[in-house]
Amino acid sequence: MTAAVSSIATVSVEQLSLTIGRRRILTDIDVPPVQRGEILAIVGPNGAGKSSLMRCLCGLLKFQGELRFNGMPVPPLARHRRQWSPHIGYVPQDAGIRAKISVMELLLSAQKTHGHSLAVKKEELARAEQILTQLDIAHLAQSYCPTLSGGQMQMCALAQALVLTPSLLLLDEPTSALDLRHQSRSLKLIRNYVRTQDEQGTPNAAAIVILHDLNLALRYADKVLLIDDGRVTAHGALPDTLTLDVVGKTFGVEGEYLMNSKGDKVLVVY
Ligand SMILES: Nc1ncnc2c1ncn2[C@@H]1O[C@H](COP(=O)(O)OP(=O)(O)O)[C@@H](O)[C@H]1O
Ligand SMILES: [Mg+2]
């Protein structure tokens, strides 16, 4: 069975449609292959279907159409999230952490879900400490999860996903509750994680990230997929795909591109 594949090198989707009850949520969605080392940003207006698409990709919603890992179709029975854990690191929108444990315990127990021994190994502790430091939240290690702020919880949910070294990251608005410093810190870490290569030169992971801030997409993603009213309206490399015309039609806003002092294109909306 396809689910025996030990890691995910590419993910793609063909003609994905989703109906919930009598409502058509997504229609004929194509996502060309996202490779390891790449970040695909999904953008679109509220209610466009972005979160629903991500829930389809990680096996939480049943859909029509083809999901492919490594170019091979994943049959409907093999799409369930449990089959691909821990290869997929999924952080839902507004990820709440209900566990009544500390942040460090959360990261250690995440690493135990897929192993056998309950004793904490040195490398598991080191991995948890490393992720917390990289995300600039080492000071939260002993904090009790239910007492965290929304932004702190979002950072910890990201740490929980990264600690398992997944080969596919699916992040639904991972920066929505973060201050400016942590927005760029998280996205930089995600980009570094995705691009870091093993000894054979294989990058760690592919990432699909839903973002509202188009400038964050421009800065950190390689490609973009625009969804409007359940359909793909544009797809391609950044920044070329996010033309003012496309942005205007999708979001109903006017704006212009300016060049910042670092030579990067920045979108300014009037
Ligand atoms: N479980 C559900 N049952 C019925 N409608 C749903 C369900 N989940 C999402 N929807 C509807 O699907 C549309 C897309 O939702 P969502 O994927 O959350 O959009 P986005 O993430 O782009 O804001 C919305 O109109 C939402 O109301
Ligand atoms: Mg959403």
pLDDT in tens, 176-205: 989 999 999 999 999 999 999 999 999 999
pLDDT class of 6 with cuts at 50, 70, 90 = low
Tell me the average pLDDT of the chain. Answer: 92
Please report the pLDDT score of residue 3 as a whole number.
Answer: 44
Q: Could you give the 3-state DSSP secondary structure of residue 192? A: helix
Please report the pLDDT score of residue 52 as a whole number.
Answer: 98
- Give the residue-averaged pLDDT of 138-157: 94
pLDDT class of 132 with cuts at 50, 70, 90 = very high
Residue type, 146: P
pLDDT class of 86 with cuts at 50, 70, 90 = confident
pLDDT in tens, 27-40: 999 999 999 999 99
pLDDT in tens, 258-270: 999 999 899 999 9
Please report the pLDDT score of residue 4 as a whole number.
Answer: 47
- Give the residue-averaged pLDDT of 120-141: 93
- Give the residue-averaged pLDDT of 110-126: 81
Please report the pLDDT score of residue 94 as a whole number.
Answer: 79
152 class by beta-carbon count within 10 Å (0-12 exposed, 13-18 middle, 19+ buried): buried
Please report the pLDDT score of residue 114 as a whole number.
Answer: 64
- Give the residue-averaged pLDDT of 118-130: 90
**Two tokens at 143?**
């904090």
Look at residue 154 and tell me whether its pLDDT is greater than 60: yes
Q: Which of 49, 43, 113, 105 lies closest to 85 in space, CA to CA? A: 113
pLDDT class of 121 with cuts at 50, 70, 90 = confident
Look at residue 128 and tell me whether its pLDDT is greater than 90: yes
Which H helix or E strand runs over 52? helix 50-57
Please report the pLDDT score of residue 1 as a whole number.
Answer: 41
Pocket, ligand 1, Cβ cutoff 6 A? 20, 23, 25, 44, 46-52
Q: How far is the CA of 24 from the centre of ligand 1 (A)?
A: 10
Q: How far is the CA of 152 from the centre of ligand 1 (A)?
A: 26
**136 vs 16, residue with greater confidence:** 16
Residues with CB under 5 A from ligand 2 (ion): 51, 93
User: Rounded to a whole number, what is the distance in angstroms from the first to the last CA of the chain?
Assistant: 52
pLDDT in tens, 61-74: 999 999 999 999 99
* Parent domain of 42: 2-269
Q: How far is the CA of 47 from the centre of ligand 1 (A)?
A: 6
The C-alpha atoms of residue 213 and residue 196 are separated, in whole angstroms, by 25
Look at residue 235 and tell me whether its pLDDT is greater than 50: yes
C-beta of residue 256 within 8 angstroms of C-beta of residue 244: yes
Q: Could you give the 3-state DSSP secondary structure of residue 69? A: strand
Please report the pLDDT score of residue 115 as a whole number.
Answer: 62
Structure-token match 């600039």, residue found: 136
C-alpha to C-alpha distances, 214 to 32, 209, 230, 247, nearest whole angstrom: 20, 12, 19, 9
The C-alpha atoms of residue 120 and residue 147 are separated, in whole angstroms, by 24
Ligand 1: residue whose CA is nearest its atom 7: 20
Which ligand ends up closest to the CA of 173? 2
pLDDT class of 83 with cuts at 50, 70, 90 = confident
Residues forming a β-bridge with 29 = 16
Interior CA angle at 150 toward 145 and 156, to 5°?
A: 50
Q: How far is the CA of 147 from the centre of ligand 1 (A)?
A: 29
Dihedral angle sign, alpha carbons of residues 192, 31, 201, 78: positive
Residues forming a β-bridge with 88 = 168
**Two tokens at 174?**
């991972």
Looking at the 3D structure of the chain, how many domains does it have? Answer: 1
Look at residue 256 and tell me whether its pLDDT is greater than 70: yes
**268 vs 94, residue with greater confidence:** 268
CATH number, position 164: 3.40.50.300
Look at residue 145 and tell me whether its pLDDT is greater than 70: yes
